[in-house]
Amino acid sequence: MKKLLSILSLFAAVVSASASNANPKPPQMVFTHEEYDNFETALPHALTEVKDGESLWVYAKFAKPIGTYVNVSKFTDKDGNVVENISFMMHFVSNKGIYGEQPVFVKGGEKSPNGMVFNKGYVAYLDNIDLEKTMEVKLCLSQYIRHKSSFVFLKMIGKSEAARLDTELTLVGKNDVVFSRGTLTCSLESGFPAYKKAWNAYEEITQKGDVADNVLPPTGKFNDDNVKAAIIKEAKTIGITAEKVVFTKDAWSERITQEVPEKRERIVYSYIRYKKGSRCLYAMAEVVQKLVLGNWGPSLVRLYNTDSPIDCGK
């Protein structure tokens, strides 16, 4: 009898394996070179290996609507407004131990609970996501495309050495649950100059922002030709020819320095519009004047956020 049961168990295992092979579990994630409408249309074009510079898209499909998996964070910002951030994480890891990650927001994400304002290029944003109906997402991994891309692949590659990499991409939701995963071989034995160039371009966007997201500060009532001249002069020292200087405050703001309490100074801000080639750019300027023997001293100008892109029509 025991021998018969053993034979029956073995037979059942073989049948189960055969059925599994005949009906393999459908993939949760596929990679392609081109953009397709959805997961199903991308599936016939799925690839398992990518080479330097090749366009790369990922399509992830879920068992349940995306709202089942995402992290939800609600908090009140400094202005008293209720903010809701909804996101999941992307993790890309290679067999060489190189790792990259990035949050993907499907709602909110401009502000964090600690008051920090995110540069929209630094995180991935997907729009038109219905939490109760969306069962799949797609992202471009090889270049920046507004509301359609993530830098996590390029960042991982940028930290690697030339090699043949076996990699895994996972989407991670609340309670650190992985709700989609896929594998990809990166054939980079001869190096990856094209991907490095793509990462450098993407990194500039993470630092400076996307043109569509960069909005100039409001115009203030303050105006002082001498201060404006000091800003223009300082800009020239770093190769910026200002086309326009606009103050963003209505008046000086006075403060007492921390180093020497009896010392006073005042501060005002502006932005500078300028061009480099056909690109329209702006930089911010902070101007400080110190009170010396009852008189305000010269304008000390500090430029920051230089070469931030802006719409030429604005």
13 contacts: CB under 8 Å, gap ≥ 6: none
Answer whether 39's CB lies under 8 Å from 28's CB.
no
Contact 83, 77 (CB under 8 A): yes
What span, in angstroms and rounded, lies between the C-alpha atoms of 174 and 119? 23
Q: Map out the domains of the chain as residue ranges.
A: 25-208, 225-309
Closest CA to 46 of 172, 146, 56: 56
For residue 91, what are its two tokens?
């993790």
pLDDT by residue for the chain (314 residues), tens only, comes to 444 334 334 334 433 444 444 456 778 999 999 999 999 999 999 999 999 999 999 999 999 999 999 999 999 887 788 999 999 999 999 998 888 899 999 998 878 776 666 666 677 889 889 999 999 999 999 999 988 999 999 999 988 899 999 999 999 999 999 999 999 999 999 999 999 999 988 888 887 878 877 888 889 999 999 999 999 999 999 999 999 999 999 999 998 765 555 678 999 999 999 999 999 999 999 999 999 888 999 999 999 889 989 998 86
CA distances from 239 to 140, 211, 269 (A): 35, 21, 20
Cα dihedral: 60, 63, 66, 68 (round 10): -150
Ordered alpha helix ranges (H), 151-224? 152-158, 193-208
- For 213, 225, 226, 262, 297, the CA distances from 268, given in Å and listed in that order, are 24, 13, 13, 20, 14
3-state secondary structure of 231: helix
pTM: 0.73
Task: Name 73's Cβ contacts closer than 8 Å, sequence gap at least 6.
Answer: 84, 85, 86, 87, 113
